[in-house]
Each structure stands twice: as structure tokens, then as C-alpha cells.
């Protein structure tokens, strides 16, 4: 043993926690892609971990070309991870990687984003439906193999606890709200930023979002508010379900409907700024990021009380227990026609946003990791 090595080791053992090297907190996910909500959060979390002086790398089975250099292959993890290091695995869909995680070195934490029930994707994305079924089978195995589950919502926490996870904590998704301040696209503002009553929905065109209910609701709304407009913002236009809801709108001759397709940040900001009310009739969400985006813009929010939506919305808007299209259209007509009510709902939305401020979420995450894992984070 080189001279002095034993003495340095002995001194390190008695060093105060504040000066000891912290264990690494690495992240792992099957697919790492730009614009993906989970990939975006992985990058945001990595910045937080590193700001605490913690080593943190992202490992993925598949990395999008534009993100090469920001993530490493799964095979590189074992050589870098020690027994006291923490591995945070993002889980939202079935994948063979989930079967490997329990056997990897390090303490395991599961970031459970929820898994869309497979029946929503049958006939639309058959392969995706099968991946969701696989994920549901893998969930109990993962839940029992990790030391801690960290979920964005109480809804997700309940599912993970039921699957057998011994310890679960709620930590909202860490969002970069600054991207919503991207200068809005002037063409979209010119087209939709007028005085017409405008309802907005943001999300992919997939069955669990219940886009057909949006179309039906807007059909009845235009009977009471003829100039009303519905902006449906999100990708997925090529799937059979998306084609079906667009055909429904055409066949019913629903006026004032606009399907945007996939949008960039500037276009998204313009759509939010053009809206008077945000409407969510989704039947399954693990968190529902667009609700927080709508809060950021101070929009009145009306939403179906389903899955994680009540927990995310809280007191920040109106929840519909039975969102039948005629009744929902009546609620919308009332909100659109009442300036005082819109202002009150907007105020409540902005107040609710405070729970999701990045600084609040970072502190909540720090508390959870310190109390549950005993990490001495600054």
C-alpha cells in the first residue's frame, strides 16, 4: 500500500458529511428523445443533481441522433456505478430494459410516470398497446425491487403502492416553464388572436384524450355561442383515431374547429395566448402537463375529473364529474360569457401554478432524497 494511503482513508471515514463525496444519482430510460416529456425531465433533473455537486449521467438503450453526447449507452452504466450510487429509472411503458434494472448495481429509485391502459391504443397503435400490456406485467416486479418510488401525482403513487412498492413519494414533474415565454409565432397570433371566443386543448390525438368528446362539446357550444372556436393542438394526425375524429368534425359540419398537428414552442405559446378557456376531457393522465401550461398563462381551466387530473388541477379550475357534451358546452358558454368568472378562474389557475414552480419541485425532491435515502444533499 503506498505511504499515506491508509491515513487518508482513515481521515475520510471521519470527515463531516458536508465534505464527503456524495454518491452519484444517475438516470436510466429506454428511449431518450428530444421534445419527449420524460427526456426533457431527465435533462432538467440532471441539471438539478449537478447543481447539488452530485455526479449524474443519463443512460438509455436508444438515443436520438441530436442528443448523442447527452446520454450514454446502457452498457456503460455498470463500469461507473458503485453500490452506494443511486439509479433513478424512468418507467412509462413496457420494455426489456425494465427486466434488467433490478440486477444493476446501485440503490434503485423508480420514477413512475404511469402506463396508458392498453385498451386505449388497440386499433390505433397495436405495438404500443402490447408495450403497455408488457409494462403492466413488469410493474409489480419493478415495484418490489426498488427502494423508493417517486411519482408526479397521488394517482401514480396509489398505483405504484398497490403494485407492491414499499415506499412512495409524490414529487411533481420538473418543468422548464421558461420555454413557455418563447416569443409567440406572429402568424398564429394574427390568425387566432382576435376577439372570437376561443377554447383550447393541447395533447396528442389518441383515444385516452377523448378528442371526440371535444368535437361533440364544441358542436353544442356553437349552438349557444355561434362564433366560438376550438383549437386542438397536438400531433398524431396520421393514426386511425385521429383521422376518425377529424372526419367526425367534417361530417357534423362543426364550425370553428382547427387541428394544428405537431407544433414548436413559438407556435404553442401563440395558441395559449390566443385562448380564452382551456378544456381537458382526457380520461387517463398520469399528471397532465398542459394543465400546468394553461395555469402559466392564467387561463380558466375546465377539466374532466379523471385519473390524475383532479390532483394536478387542485383548486386551479373547474372539475366535471360527468362531462356529457351538452352539459359541458353549457359550462363553457357560461364561462365564455362571464368576464368576472373568467377572471376568478384565471386567478385560481395562477395560484395553483405556484405548486409547480421549479424551485418548489427541486426542494421537494431534495427533501425526499434526503429523508428516504439518507443523502446529505446541500
pLDDT in tens, 221-273: 999 999 999 999 999 878 999 999 999 999 999 999 999 999 999 999 999 99
For residue 237, the model assigns a pLDDT of 76
The predicted model gives 136-141 an average pLDDT of 98
Reported confidence tier of residue 66, pLDDT bands at 50, 70, 90: confident
CATH number of 178-356: 3.40.50.1970, 3.40.50.300, 3.40.50.2000, 3.30.1390.10?
3.40.50.2000
Checking if the pLDDT of 2 tops 70, the result is: no
CB atoms within 10 A of CB 154: 14
| Residue 344 parent element (H or E) | helix 339-353
Q: Domain locations in the chain?
A: 20-170, 178-356
C-alpha cell at position 46? 440532471
Residue 52: strand, helix, or coil: coil
Asked if the domains 20-170 and 178-356 are classified in one and the same CATH topology, the answer is: yes
CB-CB contact of 67 with 34 (8 Å) = yes
For residue 3, the model assigns a pLDDT of 43
Q: Whole-model pTM?
A: 0.92
Checking if the pLDDT of 4 tops 60, the result is: no
For residue 10, the model assigns a pLDDT of 40
Reported confidence tier of residue 14, pLDDT bands at 50, 70, 90: very low
Percent of all residues in the chain with a pLDDT value above 90, rounded to a whole number: 89
- Comparing CA positions, the residue from 144, 92, 140 lying closest to residue 114 is 92
Checking if the pLDDT of 5 tops 90, the result is: no
For residue 12, the model assigns a pLDDT of 40
For residue 34, the model assigns a pLDDT of 76
Mean pLDDT score across all residues of the chain: 93
The region that residue 256 occupies, defined by phi over 0 for left and psi between -120 and 50 for alpha, beta otherwise, is left
Q: Among the residues of 239-320, which ranges form H helices? A: 240-251, 265-274, 289-296, 309-313
pLDDT in tens, 85-106: 999 999 999 999 999 999 999 9
C-alpha cell at position 327? 352539459
For residue 17, the model assigns a pLDDT of 39
pLDDT in tens, 344-378: 999 999 999 999 999 999 999 999 999 999 999 99
CB atoms within 10 A of CB 96: 10
Query: Whole-angstrom Cα distance, residue 156 to residue 169?
Result: 10
For residue 243, the model assigns a pLDDT of 94
pLDDT in tens, 175-204: 999 999 999 999 999 999 999 999 999 999
Residue 10: strand, helix, or coil: helix
Residues 20-170: name the CATH superfamily.
Glycogen Phosphorylase B; (3.40.50.2000)
Amino acid at each position: 500500500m503506498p505511504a499515506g494511503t491508509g491515513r487518508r482513508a482513515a481521515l475520510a471515514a471521519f470527515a463531516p458529511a458536508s465534505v464527503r463525496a456524495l454518491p452519484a444519482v444517475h438516470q436510466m430510460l429506454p428511449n431518450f428523445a428530444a421534445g419527449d416529456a420524460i427526456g426533457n425531465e431527465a435533462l432538467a433533473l440532471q441539471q438539478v443533481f449537478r447543481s447539488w455537486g452530485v455526479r449524474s449521467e443519463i443512460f438509455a438503450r436508444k438515443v436520438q441522433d441530436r442528443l448523442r453526447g447527452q446520454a450514454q449507452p446502457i452498457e456503460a452504466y455498470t463500469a461507473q456505478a458503485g453500490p452506494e450510487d443511486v439509479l433513478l429509472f424512468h418507467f412509462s411503458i413496457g420494455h426489456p430494459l425494465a427486466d434488467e434494472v433490478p440486477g444493476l448495481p446501485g440503490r434503485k429509485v423508480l420514477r413512475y410516470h404511469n402506463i396508458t391502459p392498453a385498451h386505449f391504443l388497440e386499433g390505433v397503435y397495436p405495438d404500443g398497446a402490447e408495450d403497455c400490456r408488457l409494462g403492466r406485467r413488469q410493474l409489480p416486479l419493478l415495484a418490489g425491487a426498488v427502494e423508493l418510488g417517486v411519482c408526479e401525482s397521488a394517482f401514480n403513487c396509489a398505483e405504484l403502492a398497490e403494485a407492491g412498492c414499499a415506499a412512495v413519494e409524490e414529487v411533481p414533474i420538473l418543468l422548464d416553464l421558461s420555454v413557455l415565454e418563447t416569443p409567440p409565432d406572429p402568424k398564429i397570433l394574427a390568425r387566432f388572436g382576435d376577439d372570437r371566443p376561443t377554447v383550447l386543448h393541447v395533447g396528442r390525438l389518441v383515444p385516452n384524450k377523448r378528442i371526440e368528446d371535444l368535437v361533440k362539446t364544441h358542436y353544442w357550444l356553437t349552438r349557444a355561442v355561434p362564433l366560438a372556436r376550438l383549437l386542438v393542438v397536438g400531433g398524431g394526425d396520421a393514426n386511425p383515431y385521429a383521422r376518425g375524429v377529424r372526419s367526425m368534425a367534417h361530417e357534423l359540419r362543426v364550425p370553428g374547429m382547427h387541428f394544428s398537428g405537431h407544433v414548436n414552442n413559438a407556435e404553442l405559446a401563440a395558441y395559449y395566448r390566443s385562448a380564452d378557456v382551456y378544456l381537458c376531457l382526457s380520461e387517463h393522465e398520469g399528471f397532465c402537463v398542459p394543465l400546468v401550461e394553461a395555469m402559466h398563462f392564467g387561463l380558466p381551466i375546465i377539466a374532466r375529473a379523471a385519473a390524475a387530473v383532479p390532483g394536478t388541477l387542485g383548486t386551479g379550475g373547474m372539475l366535471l364529474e360527468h362531462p356529457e357534451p351538452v352539459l359541458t358546452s353549457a359550462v363553457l358558454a357560461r364561462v365564455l360569457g362571464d368576464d368576472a368568472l373568467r377572471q376568478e378562474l384565471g386567478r385560481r389557475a395562477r395560484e395553483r401554478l405556484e405548486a409547480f414552480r421549479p424551485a418548489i419541485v427541486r426542494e421537494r425532491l431534495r427533501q425526499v432524497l434526503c429523508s428516504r435515502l439518507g443523502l446529505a444533499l446541500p
